Amino acid sequence: MIVLLLLGAFLCMGLAEQRYDVEYGDSLNLWVPRKPKSFEFTRKFSPNVTILWKWGEPLTSLDERRKYMGIFFEMYNLTQKDMGIYRFRGKEQKELSTYTIEVKAKTKSFHKSPGKHLRFSAKLEPNFCNVYFFPEGTLRRRMSEVAIVRRGKLQRHLDELGLVGFDLNEPCEIYIEAIQNTYRGRYEFRDENNDTALEVYLHVADPTIRTSELKVGAQLSFNFDLEPNDCNIHFFGEPSFDIVRHGKLKRHLYENDCIGFELIKPCGILKEDLQMSCQGRYEIRDQDGDTALVMILEMEGAAAVKAAPPKTRHLSLKLLGLMCHTKSTTLSLFDCSQIKSASPLGPLTALSLLLRPPTR
């Protein structure tokens, strides 16, 4: 008997309150408790209570996005205006269960070299597509906010503001032909209620290149400011493999390889107890595969082999990376194709190869 009572108490407590953190556009099903008499909603930051359903009323669609199905209360395409507290009440206004819903914008981040193109989009109807830009660089001193799209129309004053090469594609996609440094900042896609559906962070810079020489057993860690979901980290060594894909650590099975990475936020890795096979090139790339950071790791000891290599070793040096240099910048192998005769980066002035002897 005591056990049953306790169990009952536990169940009641478990049902009493729940919190959901969702993203713009997500769906949710709320459990309807037994014998509800009414269902009400208190919007966040508002004292007003709206009765969504009362005993005796039919179980029908309240609107297109909300359905009361008896067992579940279904909500689709959630937005910030749905944020707040949902309460089921029973006899004598007794609270049966309470759900708190928080809605946040989806987020994306990109890291691009100047001159690259970029597209990003939100799932919004053309008429409800609004895009605002909040600059971060030098442009910020002149303006804190620029409307790029209003109700599905690309704004006309963009060229005058120095924002050239912006295009709008239906339903709600921005295309930038050639990224400039001043385009750095945050882009917000807002719906008809001015609720933010998507926030895009654009970083503009050439890839950062770092080198590090470490001993066996030492620790390696590096990190970059990209949204965790957009984080990709590759290793180019022997063998090459993905360490992180879309923000998730990949399992790697072979014992002799460099294994045992830990993911660090927002987009980086930590590796304790380095082994020889960890020598190589690491790249952090954004969701389009553009390189944000290059980390070249040389293991000490491998250098000794390099000092007096037997003749045949020369043939088996491994290519770790290729850098191209112009007067104004240094690019990794993947960006060398940008250097054309008419490119603003200027002509190619030097090439450097990053080589290392093979590991045993």
Question: Residue 195 or residue 288: which is nearer to ligand NAG going by CB?
Answer: 195
CB of 245 to ligand NAG, least distance (A): 27
46 binds ligand NAG per the rule CB under 6 A: yes
Per-residue string for binding with ligand NAG, 5-24, x by CB under 6 A?
Answer: --------------------
CB of 182 to ligand NAG, least distance (A): 19
Question: Residue 62 or residue 214: which is nearer to ligand NAG going by CB?
Answer: 62
Dihedral over Cα of 50, 56, 59, 62: its sign:
negative
Q: Which two tokens stand for residue 231?
A: 């984080």
48 binds ligand NAG per the rule CB under 6 A: yes
Q: CA nearest 179: which of 203, 207, 201?
A: 203
Can you name the residues that pair with 84 across neighbouring β-strands?
A: 43, 101
CB of 360 to ligand NAG, least distance (A): 57
Q: Around 105, how many Cα atoms within 13 Å sit in the side-chain half-sphere?
A: 19
Secondary structure element (H or E) that encloses residue 176, with its range: strand 173-176
Question: Residue 108 or residue 281: which is nearer to ligand NAG going by CB?
Answer: 108
SS3 of the chain: helix, strand, coil, percent, to 5: 15, 45, 40
- Of residues 64-123, those binding ligand NAG (CB under 6 A): 64-65, 76-77, 123
Per-residue string for binding with ligand NAG, 122-141, x by CB under 6 A?
Answer: -x-x------x---------
Question: Residue 122 or residue 320: which is nearer to ligand NAG going by CB?
Answer: 122
Question: Residue 132 or residue 334: which is nearer to ligand NAG going by CB?
Answer: 132
29 binds ligand NAG per the rule CB under 6 A: no
Q: For residues 355 and 320, is the Cβ–Cβ distance under 8 A? A: yes
CB of 195 to ligand NAG, least distance (A): 9
Per-residue string for binding with ligand NAG, 155-194, x by CB under 6 A?
Answer: -----------------------------------x---x
Question: Residue 197 or residue 333: which is nearer to ligand NAG going by CB?
Answer: 197
Binding residues for ligand NAG, total number by CB under 6 A: 12
Residue with tokens 């000092």: 307
Q: For residues 89 and 51, is the Cβ–Cβ distance under 8 A? A: no
Let me know how many helices (H) and strands (E) the chain has, helices first: 2, 30
Question: Residue 72 or residue 76: which is nearer to ligand NAG going by CB?
Answer: 76
Q: For residues 297 and 238, is the Cβ–Cβ distance under 8 A? A: no
| Torsion on CA atoms 270, 275, 277, 278, rounded to nearest 10 | 20
CB of 179 to ligand NAG, least distance (A): 22
Q: For residues 171 and 165, is the Cβ–Cβ distance under 8 A? A: no
Cα separation of 55 and 30, whole Å? 17
CB of 341 to ligand NAG, least distance (A): 42
CB of 57 to ligand NAG, least distance (A): 21
255 binds ligand NAG per the rule CB under 6 A: no
Q: How far is CA 338 from CA 65, 202, 285, 304, in A?
A: 47, 20, 17, 37
Cα separation of 114 and 112, whole Å? 6
CB of 123 to ligand NAG, least distance (A): 5
Can you list the alpha helix ranges (DSSP code H) found in 39-108? none
Question: Residue 103 or residue 323: which is nearer to ligand NAG going by CB?
Answer: 103
Please report, as ranges, the residues that interact with ligand NAG according to CB under 6 A.
46, 48, 64-65, 76-77, 123, 125, 132, 145, 190, 194
